[in-house]
Amino acid sequence: MTADDIYRKQNLGNASGIGARCALVLVDFVNGFVDAAQFGGPHIAAAVHATRPLLAAFRKAGLPIAHTRVVFADDGSNKNVFCMKVPPLLTLTEGAFASQIVEDLTPMEGELVLRKTSASAFFSTGLSEWLRLRGVDTAVIAGCTTSGCVRATVVDAMQFNFRTIVIEDCVGDRALAPHEANLFDMRQKYADVMPRDAFLVLLAKG
C-alpha cells in the first residue's frame, strides 16, 4: 500500500476550494532567503520568478496582498527561541539587505508589509484581523521556505478558518526533499495545493 493509498483510505486530502474573496500572502521573499549562501537555495529563486505573474494578477484584480519579512532588533533585544535554533536570524534587522523584499516583488502602495520574529505570518502580526476586515475568506500562499515559514503560515491560516491554497511552483526550500514532503503533507491536511497557472484560471473566473 502506497502513502497515497493510506491517506485516501482515511479520507484525507479533500479540497476546501476557493471562497468568495482571496488574498495573497507572500512569505519571506527577501534577499537572504534567495541567497543559498545565507538562508536560501536554488528552488527559492525559481519560486520568486514564478510568483511575478501571480502577484501581477492579484494587483490587476484589486485583491488584498500582504508581504512578510523576518526582522529582529539591531541590538538583539527581541531574541527568541527561534534564534537559538537558527542564530543567523539575528542578522535580519530592519536595515539589513538580507531582510529586504526582493526587487522583483517590491511591495506597492496599499500592500501590507508585516515584520515578524516567528515562523508563521499570522503569529502576533494581526494578519488574520487585517484579512477579515477586507472580507477575505481564502488565503493564497507563496513564499519560502516550504518546510518552515510557509508551512507554519498555512497551518495557522487553516486554524484561523481561512480556506488555504498553496501555489506549488511559487514556494521554495533549501532542498527538494523537504519541499516535496511538506507539499504532500499540506495537501493532505491543511490546504489545497495547485500550480500557479491552474489557480490563475480559477481566479479569472471570479
CB atoms within 10 A of CB 198: 12
Is 125:116 a contact under the CB 8 Å cutoff? Answer: yes
Cell of 119: 515562523
Ramachandran region, residue 172 (left: φ > 0; alpha: ψ -120 to 50; beta: rest): beta
CB atoms within 10 A of CB 190: 18
Whether 22 is catalytic is: no
What distance, in Å, lies between the first and last C-alpha atoms of the chain? 39
Which of 22, 144, 149, 170 does the annotation list as catalytic?
149
Strand partners, 68: 114
Positions marked active-site: 149
